[in-house]
Amino acid sequence: MNGSIPRWLAVLATTALLVSACSASTTPAWTFAPDQAGAPGQPAAAAGAVGAPSPAASEAPAAPGQTVGSIAIEAFDLGFKPSSISVDKPGLYEVRFTNTGSILHDLTFADGTKIEAKGGETTTGQVNVPAGGITFICSVPGHAEAGMKASITVAGTAATGGGDSHSGPAPATDTQADPNAPPYTLYDATAPAVLPGTTHDITLTVEEKPMTVAPGFVVNVWTFNGTVPGPVIRVTEGDTIRVHLKNPATNKTPHSIDFHASQVAWNDEMTSINPGEEKLYEWKADYAGVWMYHCGTAPALHHIANGMYGMVIVEPKGGLPKVDREFALVQSEWYLGPQGQPVSLQKASAGNPAPDFVVFNGVANQYKDNPLPVPTGGTVRIFVLDAGPSIDSSFHIVGTIFNTVIKEGFQLTPRNPGHYGAQAVDLSPAQGAIVELTTPEDGLYPIVTHAFNFVGRGALGLLKAGDGDPKN
Ligand SMILES: [Cu+2]
């Protein structure tokens, strides 16, 4: 047997959860059916086996009854550690399952094998790992969708089947996760230092290239200098910025750039250039703030949705007060087209847009997987921009209060007469803000948009204060 999860089932389950009126769903349980190759469209025939309490029902023909190794898996609320496991060879494995969470979790493998543990318990069982690897979830309703999905791969092969624990819920899309997609590249959220001097020559080269925007999902993005978002440009009020925009001949599309921090004629600096051309866009930073830049070539919606945006920080003369950590976070949406293609303009154009992913700095959940370290009790400044193209942000960091908000020219400062604070900053597309906060104790502080339907679609990160553990 192979461990492949029928993709139709994973997609169907997700779709049915997200769209409760989905009439196509005849599947009785949101767990992976035992593998039955070529059986899409049938209800999970052996659903009873999926729910069977027996922990060790392996039928491995290669090595009946004899284990070839052991695997340790930890469940917490709500995820698995590690989220991907590699073993040297296929065969029957002893599984030691530790639940360090507070509620019941299980390991439900794609072949129906199920191992349960209550909160704080450790149990054992066995699972047959086929040559193609095997995926598993927690079958407690809602847990897989919350991130309790993972896989065991056999060295030298890719995991089969739907997604992993990094991506949260699979997108409500007809685009399916590609198990062979390359891993994403972490975008450094550290805000860069202000550029020295008063005149800055900056080259922005448009690169059209594939990018993994969430585990298993590749978009042929259009970028400034190869990243989504493009580079953060940080200058001081009064500086002159000379941007040399280059569109290499190897590209297929005209592009342009529009700096919201500039005051220039649209039909002068912002005109499009063809592949093989370049132009100079010179502007002066007249006003301080957090500003958007983006490609404005028609249809601008497509060029922004496909990755052509970035942040400009203009500091006031004299600079900002020193803080312990500074980050730059750009919220944006992905509307997936077919794998490896540019995003779907049709989906992005919908009057009531439903993005597949909403992300910080281009990649779904990347700072959930790689928390941003901050010193406990220290001061943290975040430059935040909503690049859209179409969805608002209600930027919030769980467990903190913003004592400073500078949003679109309006300021809340720590010494205001009423001692007011802020819990969330509302940013429409193309709006930016500076927020400041402190993390009072060691622990994790989730970064979200408080439009919570999008948190499960990738708009989730973590600040990690100290060692991240409030108990020691
Ligand atoms: Cu463009």
All domains of the chain in start order, with CATH: 7-154 (2.60.40.420), 199-315 (2.60.40.420), 325-465 (2.60.40.420)
The rounded distance, in Å, linking the Cα atoms of 359 and 455 is 9
Share of the chain above pLDDT 90, in %: 73
Mean pLDDT in residue range 345-356: 95
Cα(338) to centroid(ligand 1), Å: 19
- How many angstroms separate the alpha carbon of residue 292 from the centre of ligand 1? 14
Around Cβ 285, how many Cβ atoms within 10 Å?
24
Q: How close is the Cα of 366 to the center of ligand 1, in Å? A: 25
DSSP states along 99-115? E-SSS-EEEEETTS-EE
- pLDDT above 70 coverage of the chain, percent: 82
Q: What distance lies between CA 118 and its chain's CA centroid? A: 30
Distance between Cα 294 and ligand 1 center (Å)? 8
d(CA 230, CA 310): 5
3-state secondary structure of 330: strand
- DSSP-assigned beta bridge partners for residue 379: 438
Q: Which residues surround ligand 1, an ion (CB under 5 A)?
A: 255, 295, 297, 303, 308
What pTM was estimated for this model as a whole? Answer: 0.67
212 C-alpha to ligand 1 centroid (Å): 19
Give residue 254 CA to ligand 1 midpoint distance, Å. 6
> Residue 37 pLDDT > 90, yes or no?
no
Among the ranges given (32-36, 92-96, 466-470), the one the predictor scored with the smallest mean pLDDT:
32-36
| Mean pLDDT value of segment 278-296 | 97
How far apart are the CA of 200 and the centre of ligand 1, in A? 23
The residue-averaged pLDDT of 184-212 equals 98
Q: Residue 467 above 90 pLDDT?
A: yes
Report CA(70)–ligand 1 centroid distance (Å).
51
Work out the end-to-end distance of the chain between its first and last CA atoms, rounded to an integer number of angstroms: 46
Give the tens place of pLDDT for each residue, 70-110: 999 999 877 899 888 999 999 999 999 999 987 778 999 99
Q: Going by C-beta distance under 8 Å and a sequence separation of 6 or more, which residues neighbour residue 435? A: 381, 382, 384, 395, 402, 404, 405, 406, 422, 425
User: Which residues face 468 on adjacent strands?
Assistant: none
Residue 68 is predicted with a pLDDT of 94
Contact criterion met (CB below 8 Å) for 463 and 436: no
Dist. CA 256 → ligand 1 center (Å): 6
Whether the Cβ atoms of residue 378 and residue 438 lie closer than 8 Å to each other:
yes
Residues contacting residue 467 through CB under 8 Å, at least 6 positions apart: 442
What spacing in Å lies between the alpha carbon of 69 and ligand 1's midpoint?
52
CA proximity to 161, closest of 183, 185, 138, 137: 137
Q: Reduced to 3 states, what is the DSSP secondary structure of residue 458?
A: coil
